[in-house]
Every structure is written in structure tokens, then in C-alpha cells.
Structure 1
Amino acid sequence: MRTIRNGLVLALGITMTALGATACGGGGDETPPAAGPNEHVDLTLATFTEFGYEALIPEYERLHPNIKITHRKTGQGGPYHEELVTKLAAGSGLADVTALEEGHLSDFLDKGSKFNDLSKIGPADASPDRWLSWKYDAAKTKDGKVIGYGTDIGPLAMCYRKDMFKAAGLPDDPEAVKPLFATWDSYFAAGADFVKKSNGKAWFDSAAQNFNAMVNQLPEGYINKDDKLAVETNQGIKDAWTKVTDAVAKGESAKLTAFSNEWNTGFKQGAFATKVCPAWMLGVIKEQAGPENAGKWAVTAAFPGGGGNWGGSYLTVPTQSKHPKEAAELAAWLTAPEQQIKAFQAKGTFPSQVKALTDPALLSKTDDYFGGTKVGELFAEQAKKVQKPQYKGPGDGQIQENASSPALQAVEQGKSAADGWNQMVDAAKKITR
């Protein structure tokens, strides 16, 4: 699960400038030779939050007696990526296999010379058809270099409170609610209806959470394919802003900041009726809503606009590695379907591999907390609805965290939608200047 991005703030912009100045130096065109079959190799693996690799690492070491793996695991994705940027600029200190979260991937794709091309040094069985095409393609640089093997994904569905729907006179069966979630227009219209029928209870948790999901569905994000800021020229972003802020004005938002203490408590207290729900969100809901709310939450295989992805990561092999061939083999093994199913069973990380999505172990996975729903089958269906990776240019993740989200929070606290828009635009310009 990759859920929290703490932002790379000013340090990222400064350090990435330094990286740009050195990106052409010390390139990765000359790959060190592979170790001999009996030669001892020490590899380091760096991840953040939960990848489900704890049992897989000793298994790999048993299969490869000459390899010893040191796992560097940290709890927070934001500080992890800040440190990664610093080490990338310094030219030392990175792990042989280094994980990148998809929301920060765009800040490294234009620094391709700092990473090995896995399509060239990786094993033959790690071919593009192992992954969903949009997952594989998202890790390609503009010149076609593949810098990462996909780990998990966050296909989007919609979660909702059955008891709150029923009390408001709305359908509450997972099949019956699908029309409410067909489009963003139908979703927000249902929300306005819910607010009226429930005496002012909130329809969703956070304007920013919905807005982020809407923007993630667009062909391009905050940065266009020319790597220019597109907040003011991308009509899809403006339309999403209008829809979300109109919903806020109608009282549909609980006005909570995602992952805050108040947001966590909101799950337990029934502070909102619906939740944008990537696969990893099920674990968050269960943890925060608690056992006393088991059976009240439901998840349905529907999402406004068809589908989308929010979350997931990649394993890269920086050119700093002294054992890139062995590192690529480890990354390929960890992202093979068989291992990703084991990671899913261990930590709930939803696999991105085509074969894994048809594995009986995944398709048969049910969740009693959500009424016994076949959650594996549901999210596999949602994953297949995603067609293409969104283009995210450098700074895209920072804009989401440090421009759009704060601006929407300001609107929820009383700022006009127009002034909030200007706040977001101004902040985005500062990030990308």
C-alpha cells in the first residue's frame, strides 16, 4: 500500500535542478559485468511502507546462495523520496534495487541516465507482456528506456456506507448503486440528493480526494507532454475543479484532510457516506472504521468515468549499483506474478501482472468486512478498465500535494472557488518555475 505522499517541497525543486545539471554525466551506458556463478554478491533493496517482501527475501536468498540482500525499509513515502533525490544528485548511497512510488515517478523519468534500462539488462522473462500495458508503459522515458518494473497498482472502485444509504432512501445493494457512480455528474447529483434526505450529512470525505481521482483519469495531468505547466490550459482540470467545488458549495464534503486524525476518526463516526476507493483503501477503511463498523461499508465494481488508478510502485536499478545484472534479476523475480500473489496475500498489495490477475488465489479472495465481497475479482475487473498511463511530467506530484490539495481545503473552509483556483495556479507556477 502506498497511501501517503508528504511532498518533496522545496528540497525537491532545488535538488532536481542539481540533477539536471549532472544528468548527462556518469551515464549508465557501460554496465558492469555480471558476477560469476559462485561469486558472493551483496545487494541492497530500498522500499517504503508495505511491499510484502519480508518472506520473499529469504526465499530468494535460498534460491541464490551466493546472494545476500539487505532490506532498507522506511515507513513514510515522502521523506523516503526526499532522501532518494539527495542521493541521486550526490551520485552515491542508493540501493541496488530502489522502489519509486507512481506519484513521484514523473520526477525521475527525465533523469533516465541515472537508471539502468531494464529492457536491456533484465532477464528475458521480464518482457512487457508480463504487466498490464499501461503499468509497463508508465515507466518508460521519452526515449523509450524502461527504468522500472511494476509492483502493485491501485485500481479504483467506490466504497460507501450501506446503512447511511438505506437511511437516506437510496439503494444500498452493490449492484443497485452502480448507476449512482456511472459518471461524475451522476455521482455529485446523488450526493446533493443524499445531503437533502439525510439532514445535511456529508456525501464524501474530502474535495481533494475526489479531485485527485478525477485529474488522474485525464490523458495528461498538471504537466503536458512538452513538460510545461498545463493547469490553466487543460480543460479537464478546470472542469473537475468546477464539479468538485460546486459539490462543496452544496454541502457534500465532510471537509476533512486525508490521513489526518480527524479523517481517521471520520470513518469510525460515519462522517461521510462514500469514499474514492483504490484497492489499498480497503485496508485503511478497516483499520480506521474498526470492527464495530464491519458490514456497514460496501465496495462496488463501479467508478465515475469508468475506471482509473491511484497508487502503486516500481522497482528500479540505479546506475550507482555495482551489481546491476543481479539487481535486475532480483527486481524481476520480486515482480513476477507468483511473487506478487504472495505479496498480495501478505500485505494486500494489488498485483499489476496479467497472469496474477487471473490467479485463483486472487480471484477467490473475499473480505468479510465488506460483506464477503470477492474483492480480488472486483479490483481485477477494475484494473482492466484502465487503458493508458496518464502522462505526468516533472513536478506533477508536488502540484497535487502542495498546490491543488491546499487550495481545495481553503475552498472547503470558505474561500471562493475562483480564489481557490487562483491559489492553486499561483502555487503550481512556483513549483514549476
Structure 2
Amino acid sequence: MRDVRVTGFAHLAGACIARGLLLGAAGITAHRLDIGVQMRSIRRSLAVLAAVVLTAVTAGCGSSDSGDADGKITLNISTFSEWGYAGLLKEYQKLHPDITIKHNRFATSDEAKEQFQTALGAGSGLADVIGVEGGWMQQLLKHPDNFVDLTSPKVEGRWKDWNTKLASTADGKLLGYATDIGPQTIAYRSDLFKAAGLPTDREKVAELFGGDDATWDDFFAVGKRFVDARTGPAFYDASASVATSWADQYRVLWEDPKTGDIIADKNKDLRNIYDTVTSHEDLSAHLARWSEDWVSAFQKDKFAVMLAPSWMLGVIKGNAAGVRGWDVADVYPNGGVNSGGSYLSVPKQSKHPKEAQALAEWLTAPEQQTKAFKASGNFPSQIEAQKSPEVQKVTEPFFNDAPVGKILTERASNITMVPYRGENYFAIAAAFNDAINRVSVDKTHSAKESWDMFVDALDALK
């Protein structure tokens, strides 16, 4: 699938469609981030995936029976979109002839989340191993007694602390093995930069944005230089995506981790992000990511820069097919930020928890994560896998032969934490996105009016 045509919540919901988009000549594909916002428009657009997806229902996803008469057992694993597991599961069964694996694949993580919630509430119907989007890992942490503690000496040191912390309870239980992450980069049109009198070489572009000391002030300053050249295109595609990416660099913005209280409307950092982004509307193409206009803009030279997680590179390639000039710079404002990522968890509903944990452990080992990266483009969360020659040598012809393996590894090394996302995160973030878009896309309200509407929306949630 090369052309994505959907509408909806820009940075937060759209990424769920990214798995399955071709990322490079090496055969890797793009990853996604689905934060769980349920949108009919996205489901319609994802219907094309149905031909390659085994859609699982609650009964079909459930844990296997205790075993076959001949002593063999069957393990069910449920994932969504494309994880690059087809070949790996066949390999595992060859290594373990007494185990048969049934793989249930949902079209989207939204569908997987719905089935997860239904089966968790019913007390049955979950697979032996379930793929969990990082955005809804918090739901598992609220019900730790329903999941196997996967803590094991065998996996110590596999992941960065921030990655395991997202799947860990307060008392140290590990409820998920990380599979992949989404380190952010800056993708840019070198031809449009050249027309504006800016550097085009990716190393010089990284320096232009501030290099290792890059800040958001630097980012907007480069944008001003670009638009002041008056060559036509806007600097970046979507204001809401810039704001959301910036917000992801703060540990606490939306809710108080201790009390669960909504604090976004009173958070000075979030207000600064909002005010800064809405004051730079002259840099924006006024698009909503994943909208029809956004998709078509790739072919019309409407913007020069995108903040792009690893999985977004495949989306760009698909939407900008035939367009030359795209490149990737190893730089990001304020260091690093993660956008996306998933985990494998084992519900206590499983009749074979030890075997299920062993499968999850094997699938997330560096050797297997490297193979999954080659098959799907999902950037490994495993530290050793990131440093492997197989990952480091990956280049992308569409992005001027950019060494994306090395760039993504470097960007990943700059990620130090992930934001806290509580029970109301999705609703709050959607309201924030709407506030930005009323100013930038719809142009129906002033920044102050739209912020006041955001505050009203949060009051309704309290």
C-alpha cells in the first residue's frame, strides 16, 4: 500500500496506518503509532489491509487449550498491522517441534485494543502472547494481576530504562517486552532548501538546526529564514504535529501521575508550546496530518520539512512517490523524542504462560528484532540490535541514500524518557490537537479563543 488517504487526529491517530508502507529498496516497511483514538475514517482507509490480515475476534484470539493428545501445545499470538513476524514464527516452530503457533493479526492497533479490552473484561479470550501498543500500556499497568511478570535475568540490559519503565509497575514487575520504538528525525526537501538559499547536505543541515545543541528556537529560526526567501512552499506541514512532538519531550503535561488530575489547562510548559506554535503560523502549510489535503500536498511542493519518526519515512516515500529531493538529517530539537513502539505481554489467562513467555523472550531478542526490522522496518528497541551491522548498514535510496540505520540509532540514543499518559490522555490530547487546528487548519478562531475552548473541553472531562 503506497498511498494513504485518511482524515483525523493528526500526530496521534494517523500513525496507526504506517505499518505496511514500503520504506526502502531493501524491503523494509514503515512503522506506525496508534494512540488508541477510534476513528471511523481511519478504519475505512485501512480496509485495504483486510486482504492480508487475519482479523481476530475474541473467541479466535483466546489462549490455546491445555494441549493436544500427542503432548504438543498450541500458542496463540495476536499482533496488529505488520510486525515482520511471519518468518520468525515459522522459524520458532522448527526450533520447537512440539509447539504450534497460531498468529492472529488485526488490521490496526485500534481493533486490537478493542478486542483486548473486551477479553480482559470478560476474563477470557486473550491470546497467549499479545502485542500491546505503547500508548495503551497504561491499561495493563492498572490491572497487573491479570498479566505475567516477565522479569527475568535473561532480558536484563536489553532495553533502555525509559523503555522498560513504560511497561513496569511501581513495585518492579515487568509486564511487557519492548519490540520496537520510533525515534524522531527531521526529514527535508533538499531542492526546496537550495531554492531558499539554505544548505542541502544532510550534515550541514544538521548544523543549521543547531546540531547536538539544537533547540526549538533554532527550528523556528530556520523556518523564518526559509519563508523569508519567499520561494512559495511553507516550512513545515502541520502545526499540530510540531506541537505534539514538542509536548512529547516533557514527562508531565497532561495529568498528574500521583493524583490522576487533569493539569494540562494549567501547565505552563504546554501553554508555552501552544503559544509558540500558534505564533508561527507563517511557517505552516496549515495542513492536518492524514487528511486528503495533506496526502496530496506531497506531490505539490507545499512544504519543505517534516518531523518524522522512523515509521514516518515510509509514509513520506509512499505519498511522495516520484518526487525527488527528500533527505534525512541526524538532528532534532532538544535532543531526542520517541513516537511509537510496542510490547509483547503474556496474560495470566494463558494456559501455557512459561511457553508464552519463552516465545515473547525469543521474539524480542536482538537477532530476531534485527530480522523483524529487515522484514517490516520497525526500528528495534533492543540496544544490541540497534548497534548490529545489519541495522547500521541500512540506507534509503529515496532519501538520497541516507544512512537511516545509523541516523535512527543516533536519534534513539538521545531518547531519555517518555511522557506520562494517564486515563484521560487520549481525550486531552485530542482536544489539544483540535485547539491547534482551529487556528491553523480551519482558521475559525484566534489562538486565545481556541485555547479557551480547550480549557472548556477539559473542564467537561474533570
TM-score category by the smaller chain?
0.7 to 0.9
Q: 2:349: which partner in 1?
A: 320
What is the distance in 2 between the residues matched to 1:39 and 1:126?
29
What is the distance in 1 between the residues matched to 2:182 and 2:155?
21
CA offset digits 1:165-222 (Å, max 9, x no partner): 1111111211112244321111112212322213552111111211111111012241
Q: 1:427: which partner in 2?
A: 457
What are the equivalent positions in structure 2 for 1:151-230 lying under 5 Å apart?
151-181=179-209, 182-226=214-258, 227-230=260-263
Counterparts in 2 of 1:283 and 1:133: CA distance versus 1, 3 Å: same
Q: 1:337: which partner in 2?
A: 366
Are the counterparts in 2 of residues 158 and 277 from structure 1 also a CA contact under 8 Å?
A: yes
Q: 2:269: which partner in 1?
A: 236
What are the equivalent positions in structure 2 for 1:235-274 lying under 5 Å apart?
235-248=268-281, 251-274=282-305
- Runs of 4+ aligned structure 1 residues displaced above 3 Å come to 3-6, 428-431
| 2:388 is equivalent to residue 355 of structure 1 | no
What code does the residue aligned with 1:244 have?
V
Q: Secondary structure at the match of 1:327?
A: helix
Q: 2:127: which partner in 1?
A: 95
| 2:297 is equivalent to residue 293 of structure 1 | no
Q: Secondary structure at the match of 1:98?
A: strand
What is the distance in 1 between the residues matched to 2:360 and 2:232?
50
What is the distance in 1 between the residues matched to 2:404 and 2:411?
10
Are the counterparts in 2 of residues 108 and 394 from structure 1 also a CA contact under 8 Å?
A: no
CA apart distance, 1:87: 1.9
> 5+ residue gaps in structure 2?
1-30, 40-65
Q: Secondary structure at the match of 1:42?
A: strand
What are the equivalent positions in structure 2 for 1:116-127 lying under 5 Å apart?
116-119=148-151, 124-127=153-156
Are the counterparts in 1 of residues 185 and 307 from structure 2 also a CA contact under 8 Å?
A: yes
Q: Say which of 132, 143, 156 aligns to 2:160.
A: 132
What code does the residue aligned with 1:130 have?
R
What is the distance in 2 between the residues matched to 1:403 and 1:240?
15
Counterparts in 2 of 1:72 and 1:426: CA distance versus 1, 3 Å: farther
What is the distance in 1 between the residues matched to 2:137 and 2:460?
20
> 5+ residue gaps in structure 1?
10-33
What is the distance in 1 between the residues matched to 2:292 and 2:90?
36
Q: Structure 1 length as normaliser, TM-score?
A: 0.87
CA offset digits 1:333-369 (Å, max 9, x no partner): 1111000000000111100111111100011111111
Q: Say which of 67, 82, 103 aligns to 1:71.
A: 103
Are the counterparts in 2 of residues 84 and 94 from structure 1 also a CA contact under 8 Å?
A: yes
What is the distance in 1 between the residues matched to 2:371 and 2:195?
40
Counterparts in 2 of 1:425 and 1:54: CA distance versus 1, 3 Å: farther
Q: 2:137: which partner in 1?
A: 105
CA offset digits 1:312-344 (Å, max 9, x no partner): 111111122221111111111111100000000
What code does the residue aligned with 2:450 have?
G
What code does the residue aligned with 1:253 have?
S
Counterparts in 2 of 1:424 and 1:351: CA distance versus 1, 3 Å: same
Are the counterparts in 1 of residues 140 and 175 from structure 2 also a CA contact under 8 Å?
A: no
CA offset digits 1:289-327 (Å, max 9, x no partner): 00x124x11101100111111011111111222211111
What is the distance in 2 between the residues matched to 1:264 and 1:82?
28
CA apart distance, 1:79: 2.8
What is the distance in 1 between the residues matched to 2:428 and 2:366?
33
Are the counterparts in 1 of residues 36 and 113 from structure 2 also a CA contact under 8 Å?
A: no
Identity of aligned residues (%): 39
Q: Secondary structure at the match of 2:97?
A: coil
What is the distance in 1 between the residues matched to 2:231 and 2:406?
36
CA offset digits 1:371-425 (Å, max 9, x no partner): 111110111011111123332222323432x212222111112211122222333
CA apart distance, 1:44: 1.1
| 2:427 is equivalent to residue 395 of structure 1 | no
| 2:63 is equivalent to residue 40 of structure 1 | no
CA apart distance, 1:429: 4.2
What is the distance in 2 between the residues matched to 1:72 and 1:317?
15
Q: Structure 2 length as normaliser, TM-score?
A: 0.82
Q: Secondary structure at the match of 2:250?
A: coil
Q: Secondary structure at the match of 1:94?
A: coil
What are the equivalent positions in structure 2 for 1:75-86 lying under 5 Å apart?
75-86=107-118
CA apart distance, 1:35: 8.2
